[in-house]
């Protein structure tokens, strides 16, 4: 990361999306930089001040969750809860990219084109590309948020 390398850490980067883990210490700030289209998923309750290029600032309270869901021509963000019996069968495909961010810890099995991930902890990220065959199963026996 060219901008603020002590604050921004790349979690996932491909031709479709870049996911960053951002950790600004209390009272800390970042240098001026630009962001393309973005979504903020706060994993802890936070208070931030965002300042635009024209110098105007706005304070925001971020709850430790995906508080704002949206639907635009370029992206849709939503919070999903997988029920205890949730199962997408092997070979499932979608005509859109998915970036899944775990909002809790639990037992989920996800196989994407032969690569399997078992178990999730808050903040884990998974990319399932458009048309990629996958299977997802909640194996925890309880609802899980993502």
pLDDT in tens, 27-59: 888 888 777 777 778 888 888 888 888 889 988
Question: Which residue pairs, CB below 8 angstroms and at least 24 apart, start in 52-60?
Answer: none
Q: Per this entry, what is the length of the chain?
A: 146
48, 59 Cβ separation under 8 angstroms: yes
Percent of the chain predicted with pLDDT > 70? 93
| Phi-psi sector, 145: left (phi>0), alpha (psi -120 to 50), beta | beta
Q: Would you list the domain boundaries of the chain?
A: 8-71, 80-145
pLDDT digits (tens, 9 = 90+) for 121-138: 888 999 999 999 999 999
Return all residues near 38 (Cβ < 8 A) that are at least 6 apart: none
pLDDT digits (tens, 9 = 90+) for 70-121: 667 777 877 788 899 999 999 999 999 998 888 888 899 999 999 998 888 8
Nearest to 82 by CA among 99, 61, 106: 106
Distance CA 107, CA 128 (A): 18
Q: Is the pLDDT score of 65 beyond 60?
A: no
Instruction: Return the CATH number of 80-145, one of 3.30.470.20, 2.60.120.10, 2.40.50.140, 3.30.70.20.
Output: 2.60.120.10
Q: Is 40 exposed, middle or buried (0-12, 13-18, 19+ CB in 10 A)?
A: middle
């Amino acid at each position: 990361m060219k901008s603020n390398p002590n604050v921004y850490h790349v979690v996932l980067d491909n031709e479709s999306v870049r996911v960053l883990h951002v950790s600004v210490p209390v009272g800390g700030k970042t240098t001026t930089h630009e962001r393309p289209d973005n979504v903020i998923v706060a994993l802890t309750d936070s208070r931030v001040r965002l300042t635009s290029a024209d110098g105007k600032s706005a304070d925001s309270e971020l709850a430790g969750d995906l508080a704002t869901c949206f639907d635009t021509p370029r992206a849709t963000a939503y919070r999903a809860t997988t029920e205890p019996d949730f199962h997408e069968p092997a070979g499932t495909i979608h005509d859109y990219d998915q970036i899944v961010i775990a909002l809790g810890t639990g037992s989920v099995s996800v196989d994407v084109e032969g690569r399997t991930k078992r178990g999730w902890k808050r903040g884990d990220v998974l990319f399932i590309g458009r048309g990629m065959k996958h299977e997802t199963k909640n194996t925890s026996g309880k609802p899980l948020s993502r």
